Amino acid sequence: MNLTDSNDYAQTLVRGSVVVLLGLWLAWIWLPILWDLFTGVSVNPQTDPPTLIPREVTLEHYVNVVQEEDILTYIRNSTIVTTVSTAVSVAVGALAAYSLTRWDPGNGQVSFFALSMRFLPPIAVAIPIYTMFVGFGWINSWRALIVAYLTIGIPISTWIMLIFFQKIPVELEEASRVDGWSRIQTWRRVVLPLAAPGISSAAILTAILMWNEYVLALVLTTTSDAQTVPIYLAGFVTTRGVLWGRMGAATIIALTPIVVLAFVAQERLVAGFTLE
């Protein structure tokens, strides 16, 4: 009787500490993000620091960020560059990954090549690309970023789809070929539906990487005609001087789509990140 009591007690203690520790963990993750949120709605966060429950809430900083700082222009640039470059990367990567899992031309050399691309530091790619694009007259344009981002997008999307496609049984394709379907019919009706989760995981992850990219955008763009959201945000520190309220508001605007994505597409994301 006593024994079970003390066991129960120990159990409760352990359970309690697990709950407390995980609570601390989640607070550590979310407090900084909440702080951005609170700073962005405080009237004057620089002289009157935000409190956990804001005394007075204002949307002034959000209005300023949109109207005076024109954040929407940077969002437009980021959206165009990310969309086009992701689409190209995933299309090209899907073909490559399919071929590598089915026939492996070059006996592993090609996939090793794709993987080794990730060891190239972005700045070591940015410097020569910069010289090349100065020659083309491409500096400060969308196409400069779209093309440069392929160095990130193709290796990562190929890699993720490679792992996904390996799980699609070849037998299914062979069976449908035997049933008299053409190769194209087989792809459309058998391969594509099975490959869809891998393709969407790759697309989401590639898009996030490009949306967040900083180094190449810093080197290749110079004005709001082509600059992306991260460059705009870094400007709070590097060029415009720290305006806390606007910084909080802009940060929240920039991170919301990503956090929403984390919940909406969690399954695809988790699958992609664990393979990354």
Partner 1 sequence: MSTADTTSGWREAVRRRLADERTIAWLFVLPAIALLATVAIYPFLQMIYDSVFSFSQAGQREAFVGVENFARVLSDSRFTGAISFTVIFVFIVVTVEFLLGLGISLLIYSPYVERRQLFVVLSLPPMMLSPVIAGLTWRMLFNVEYGLVNHVFALNIDWIAGRPWAAVAIIVTDVWMWTPLFVLVFASTLQAIPKVYYEAAEVDGMGRWQRFKWITFPQMRTAIVIVLLLRVVRAFKVFPKIQVLTLGGPGSYTESIAMITYNYGFKFFDLGRASAAGVIYWFVMFVAAFLIFRAVAEDLITPEDS
Question: Rounded distance, CA 226 to CA 143, Å?
Answer: 9
Contact 109, 260 (CB under 8 A): no
Mask for 222-251, x = binds partner 1 (CB under 8 A):
-------xx--xx-xxx---x-x--xx--x
User: Interface with partner 1 includes 158 (CB under 8 A)?
Assistant: yes
Closer CB to partner 1, residue 25 or residue 196?
25
DSSP annotation string for 18-42: HHHHHHHHHHHHHHHHHHHHHHHHS
Closer CB to partner 1, residue 80 or residue 102?
102
* Residue 1 CA, distance from chain mean position: 55
Question: Rounded distance, CA 46 to CA 17, Å?
Answer: 37
To the nearest whole angstrom, how small is the minimum distance from the Cβ of residue 180 to partner 1?
16
On the CB side of 264, CA atoms within 13 Å amount to 8
User: Interface with partner 1 includes 148 (CB under 8 A)?
Assistant: yes
Nearest to 147 by CA among 201, 220, 232: 220
Closer CB to partner 1, residue 223 or residue 274?
274
Among 9, 10, 14, 63, binds partner 1 (CB under 8 A): 14
Give me the phi and psi of 4, to 5 degrees please: -65, -35
> Please, which of residues 165-204 interact with partner 1 by CB under 8 A?
none
> Please, which of residues 91-120 interact with partner 1 by CB under 8 A?
92-93, 95-96, 98-100, 102-106, 110, 113-114, 117-120
Closer CB to partner 1, residue 63 or residue 262?
262
To the nearest whole angstrom, how small is the minimum distance from the Cβ of residue 52 to partner 1?
10
